[in-house]
Every structure is written in C-alpha cells, then in structure tokens.
Amino acid sequence: MTLTVKSVGRVTLVSSLVAAAAGMAIFAAAPASGAADTLAAAAQQSGRYFGTAVAANKLGDGTYVNILNREFDMVTAENEMKMDALEPNQNQFSYGTADRIVNQAIGQGKRVRGHALAWHMQQPGWMQNMGGTQLRNAMLNHITQVATYYRGKIYAWDVVNEAFADGNSGGRRDSNLQRTGNDWIEAAFRAARSADPNAKLCYNDYNTDNWSHAKTQGVYNMVRDFKSRGVPIDCVGFQAHFNSGNPVPSNYHTTLQNFADLGVDVQITELDIEGSGSSQAQQFQGVTQACLAVARCTGITVWGIRDSDSWRASGTPLLFDGSGNKKQAYNSVLSALNSGTGTTSPSTPTSPTTPSNPGGGGCTATYSEGEKWNDRFNGNVTVSGSNNWIVTVTVSSPQRIIATWNTSASWDSANVMTARPNGNGNSFGFTIMHGGNWNWPSISCRTA
C-alpha cells in the first residue's frame, strides 16, 4: 500500500481555503434564508429539542429570561429538583422553587427534563446519615412522591445520576445508595415508572462519551442488562462536560449510536465545552453533528445560558457571553442544526453506506470507517462495477483531507476531491482532519 501525502504547499492552500469556508459557514451572523434562527426552531426541524439548565434565582434577570424564552424549548432545573432541594426534611416536600422553573417553562410552551431523582450527591442531611433498608425505602419514597407530584409535567426524568465509578474499573461508584444493594438502580427505575408511566426514564452520567472508556462500557452493559430483563429504562443522558483535558472524543457518534442500538433514546443533557473562538465553536458543532447523526438522539441541553451563568464560568463554556451576546459557538451549533436532520446523512456511523451515483452510475462506491484518532480519522472506499471509475469525495467544513493512498487524487475545491484508479486497484483510502466534525464524507461514483 502506498501512502501519498500531499505536498506541504498544497496542504497549506487547502487548509486556508477551508478556514475561509468555515468562516462563512460557521460564523455567519444571520442564517441563510429559510433557515431557522433560534436553537429550538432549528432543532425542531428534525424533531429534536434544544434545552438549557435554568436557575430559579435568575428568572428575574430580563436578559436571561429573554434568551431563555427565545432560544430554548426544553428546561432542566440546575439544582432545584435535586433531593436536598425537594425533601429538606424527611417526608416534608418543598416544591416552591422548583415549581417556579417548571411553571415558567410550561407557561412558555417548553418541556421539562427532571433532574434528578436519586444521586449520591446533594442528598439532604438526614439522608446522608442513613443506610440499609431505611435508606432504600427513603429513596423509593422520594422517587414516588416527587414523580407523582410532577406526573404529566416531565418529558424525561434523570432517575439515577452518576452511579458509575471513574477510572478503569467499569463498575459502580461506592455510595450510601450503592451499599443498599446493587439492585438500587433498577428499584429506582421501577418506582419512577409506577409513579409517572408517561415520563421517559433516563440514566444520566458524565465521562461516558468515549466509547473505549471503561465507564462507558460499564453503563452500556447495565443498560443492555436492563433492556434484556425488562427493567423500565427509556433513555441514557450524556452530560458532556468537556474541556482541554477531557475533549470531545472522536468516537462520540459511535458511543451515541451503540447505546441507541440497545433500544433507548440518547440525549446530551448538560453540554458545556471550555474554551473560546473557533476551536470551541468546532467542538460544539461536532457534538451537535454527532447527535444529528443518530436517529434516536432526541435533543441537546446546554448547562446554562451565558458564560457567567455557568458552574465553571471562568472556562467560558456556553453559547452566550456574559452580556448575552451570541458566541461563535452559538453560530456553529445553529448552523449544524440547520444543515439537515443528519439521520439520513452519510454520517450514519455504524452501517457503511452505498451512496447514490449522481454522476450517471456505472459503478458503486462504498464507504467504510477506518482508524480514528483524536484529531483525524481514516476512510476507505471500495468500488465495484467498473475498473475505469471516478469517485468524488466531499467532506464538510471544517474537515480537510490530508492524505490519500491507492488513488490518484485531484481537487475541485477545498472540500471536494476527485479520486481515480492508481493501477488496477478498486479500493482507496484517505485521512480526514476532522476539526470536531466526524460526519462521513459524501461519496459518488461515475465511469470515466
């Protein structure tokens, strides 16, 4: 196999063209005519939602509420529906602050994700000191009371939050709830289903984005087990708190698709990405595209509105700056949402496509995924039907092809490559720098 890496001069030219194209596509201030101009409207085009975490003490802030009402159609209470907030004394429930968020959302036609019925953190003091059967029953009572109170108002509950350990074990996190018995999670889901049969019931966690991580596999195995035994689970939430030490993984769409293939919805539930400018924008775009590429990824929620509202404000991880202005990251997400449903796009990650042949046919080109790294991935194309083929490979911004093998390649534009046979071979490959966008390229074949 020969590896043909394009000359340095060519690569430089290609990347600057792509950067210019990205500037137009990602950072346009106004959407193209016909495109939706808010996150919620853009997400709705493919039947998805776009949500945010809301803090009750900001509902008097005009700028905040203005953006909330304009841009989002799903709301998660950032802290107000946690166990300590709703049951400060055992069996005495306090719904007032949470209701301000729920009622504001419903009054504006938005839906609500409930967060969270059972969690090892933010337990009220009385619960922290409990164990055994007493704690198990207190947890089940909490779930039953809260889910019953909110029955009919909640789109999806995070029934259990963050129950798996970090690191390489792939096992459960130690906690007072875990020590009540390994079946505490399924018991929680069963109680939630009885109390609100119409809410979707989710397991929610962080650091479960990278398919090769032990924690991801641990959660996957639990969900597979639950589905096989009829434990009522409908969805898995991926919190998606990213920063330079924990970047958006290149296999994110694979993770989402593999969970979806278990027969659950997947949702991105607490998205924030530390950083700024185009690098941050590209990562937000990549996450959005990963969701769009998975039919059962039903929506995305960001963990706050303005950078200054974030639990880690110094990392400026959100879509609006402290003054409420749209950031580059906002425009990249909006543009990705406006570029189509993704569910029928060639990026569908687990089944190689057999693309159409708009050039007249006579041959068929089939794409398959190759190796992946943090910053790039390989693609392979196999051609059948002709030895005299011309394959067009189109990548989407900000991707660029940096290497090809087993083909003679030329360039129609920065993102469109024409590949011809190199000898008698009928397969070739290439490496794509993805810039946070893992969508598969479009491929078409015609005869020369």
Site string for ligand 9MR, 91-130 (x = CB under 6 A): ------------------------------xx--------
Q: Residue 263 contacts by C-beta under 8 Å, 6 or more apart in sequence?
A: 227
Give the Cα separation of 116 and 139 in Å (integer). 12
Instruction: Supply φ then ψ for residue 266, to 5 degrees.
Output: -120, 145
Q: Based on CB atoms, which residue is closest to ligand 9MR, 240 or 256? A: 240
Nearest 5 degrees, angle CA 71-CA 40-CA 109? 80
In angstroms, what CA-CA distances link 133 with 165, 183, 280, 419?
A: 23, 12, 47, 66
Site string for ligand 9MR, 258-297 (x = CB under 6 A): ------------x---------------------------
When CB distances to ligand 9MR are compared, the closest residue is 311
Q: Based on CB atoms, which residue is closest to ligand 9MR, 207 or 442? A: 207
Residue 436 backbone class (left: φ over 0; alpha: ψ -120 to 50; beta: rest): left
Query: What is the length of the chain?
Result: 448
SS3 322: coil
Q: Based on CB atoms, which residue is closest to ligand 9MR, 161 or 316? A: 161
Smallest gap, in angstroms, from Cβ of residue 25 to ligand 9MR? Answer: 31
Smallest gap, in angstroms, from Cβ of residue 154 to ligand 9MR? Answer: 16
270 flagged as catalytic? yes
Which pair of structure tokens corresponds to residue 318?
């959100």
Q: Based on CB atoms, which residue is closest to ligand 9MR, 124 or 355? A: 124
Smallest gap, in angstroms, from Cβ of residue 55 to ligand 9MR? Answer: 7
Among 80, 87, 162, 270, which one carries the catalytic annotation?
Answer: 270
The residues in 320-359 that bind ligand 9MR, with binding defined as CB under 6 A, are none
Site string for ligand 9MR, 24-53 (x = CB under 6 A): ------------------------------
- Among 38, 79, 396, 397, the residue binding ligand 9MR under the rule CB under 6 A is 79
Q: Residue 96 contacts by C-beta under 8 Å, 6 or more apart in sequence?
A: none
Q: Based on CB atoms, which residue is closest to ligand 9MR, 4 or 94? A: 94
Q: Based on CB atoms, which residue is closest to ligand 9MR, 114 or 379? A: 114
Where are the strands (E) in 25-155, listed by range?
49-54, 74-77, 111-119
Smallest gap, in angstroms, from Cβ of residue 207 to ligand 9MR? Answer: 11
DSSP character string of 273-321 = E---HHHHHHHHHHHHHHHHTSTTEEEEEES-SBGGGSTTGGG--SSB-
In angstroms, what CA-CA distances link 219 with 116, 162, 252, 293, 433?
A: 17, 10, 15, 21, 30
Strand partners, 420: 408
Site string for ligand 9MR, 304-323 (x = CB under 6 A): -------x------------
Smallest gap, in angstroms, from Cβ of residue 162 to ligand 9MR? Answer: 7
Please count the residues of this chain forming the interface with ligand 9MR, following the rule CB under 6 A: 9
248 Cα distance to chain centroid: 10
Q: Based on CB atoms, which residue is closest to ligand 9MR, 303 or 389? A: 303
Give the Cα separation of 245 and 250 in Å (integer). 14
Q: Which residue has the tokens 């950032």?
A: 78
Smallest gap, in angstroms, from Cβ of residue 203 to ligand 9MR? Answer: 13
- Among 25, 40, 74, 78, the residue binding ligand 9MR under the rule CB under 6 A is 78
- Among 104, 207, 239, 332, the residue binding ligand 9MR under the rule CB under 6 A is 239
Which pair of structure tokens corresponds to residue 243?
């920063």
The residues in 158-217 that bind ligand 9MR, with binding defined as CB under 6 A, are 161, 206
Q: Enumerate binding residues for ligand 9MR (CB under 6 A).
A: 78-79, 121-122, 161, 206, 239, 270, 311
**Which residues have a catalytic role annotated?**
270
